[in-house]
Structures are given as C-alpha cells and as structure tokens.
Amino acid sequence: MTPSDVEVGPATLHRLGMLPDVVLEHTSCALGRLGQALMRLTEQRLRSLGVRARHIGVLMALRAGGPLSQQALGTYLAIDAATIVAALNDLEERGLVRRERDGEDARRHAVTITGAGYDFLEQAEQLLDQIDDEVLVVLPPHLQRALAQAVRQLATSPQIADLARS
C-alpha cells in the first residue's frame, strides 16, 4: 500500500498499525518513532500522578545510588542543569526528595529520596509495568525477553553513547 492509497486519519492508523511500512525500512527510524510514541504514552499516564518521566528517572537514580549531588544526578541521567534543578524543585515540593548541603562541599547539595519518594516510586513503577504489559502483549514471551535484552544491550553500549555525544 502506498501513501497515495491511504486516507490518513485515526481510523486508518488503527487499521494499519502505528507506523507505515515505509518508515520500518530502517530500524533506527522505526525505533525513534516507536520511542516517541511510547514516551507520549508514558508522559500521558504519568500525568495522572502529577509527574513526568524525568521525575521518575530522578527517583530511580536516587534509589539506586543516592544520595547524589545535583550535578552528579544531572550527569548520570544526561539532563541539563536547569532541567535537573526544576525536576528536583518539583520533587522536593511534594516531599519526595530532600536536598541538603553536602558535608564535604557546602557549595553542593546532596539529594536524597525520602520515604514518601520510595512509596511514590513504587506506585509509578506499577503504572510503568502496566504500560509494558499493554504494549508488549502483542509479542510472545520469548520475543518480549529478547526485546528487553536487545534494548538493554543497545542502551548500555559505549559505542551508542559515543555516537549520541558526537
């Protein structure tokens, strides 16, 4: 089917699937478009909790390796300084993180996830698990596992990180 054969609208997209075949010719394009769509879905669902994906990423990073300085947190998550400060302001206002002067360097703030932050993150991760279940249901279990493994390998690849920085 060619683009001129298709009347594009929500019903057509539902009938054809999310992306037209022409976009799927290049895996990088398909992954990019799929990633955009999944990020929109994730942001939409997280709005019900009053947060965005970046907030959840901050909480996850603090749970895994906190306390961290604001700068270290931004570097770790590849989030610019202004955005990390704004995200931390939002989270601190809700009592999900705490910022304190770093004992070793009073110019820095050490950021810690609070008990409420842990509870909130658990709730958010349940929502993210639901999204995973809804999206991955179209794949048999062995392909779900293979996809998870492939995505993890790509996401942790130094080669990909170098390409993204260049």
Residue matched to tokens 């929500």: 10
Q: Is position 4 within any domain?
A: no
Can you give the pLDDT at residue 105? 72
Whether the per-residue pLDDT at 42 is higher than 80: the answer is yes
| pLDDT tens digits along 76-124 | 998 999 999 999 999 999 999 999 887 777 777 899 999 999 999 999 9
Q: Is position 23 within any domain?
A: no
Could you tell me the pTM of the whole model?
Answer: 0.79
Q: Is position 36 within any domain?
A: no
| CB distance 65 to 73 below 8 Å | no
Q: Is position 62 within any domain?
A: yes
Please count the structural domains in the chain.
1
Q: Is position 83 within any domain?
A: yes
For residue 23, what is the enclosing H or E element? none
Sheet with 68-69, edge to edge strand ranges: 68-69, 109-113, 97-101
- CATH number for the domain spanning 121: value is 1.10.10.10
| CB distance 68 to 110 below 8 Å | yes
Whether the per-residue pLDDT at 166 is higher than 60: the answer is yes
Q: Could you tell me the residue range of the domain that residue 128 belongs to?
A: 50-165
How far apart CA 126 and CA 116 sit, in angstroms, is: 16
Q: Is position 122 within any domain?
A: yes
How far apart CA 142 and CA 140 sit, in angstroms, is: 6
Q: Is position 42 within any domain?
A: no
How far apart CA 112 and CA 39 sit, in angstroms, is: 26
Q: Is position 110 within any domain?
A: yes
How far apart CA 119 and CA 127 sit, in angstroms, is: 13
Question: Which range (4-8, 37-41, 72-76) has the least confidence?
Answer: 4-8
How far apart CA 65 and CA 63 sit, in angstroms, is: 6
What number is the average pLDDT over the span 49-63? 96
Can you give the pLDDT at residue 17? 57
Query: 113 Cβ partners below 8 Å, 6+ apart?
Result: 59, 62, 63, 66, 96, 97, 121
**Mean pLDDT, the chain, whole residue set:** 85
Q: Which string of DSSP letters, residue by residue, matches 57-88?
A: HHHHHHHHH-SEEHHHHHHHHT--HHHHHHHH
Grouping H, G, I as helix, E, B as strand and the rest as coil, residue 52 is: coil
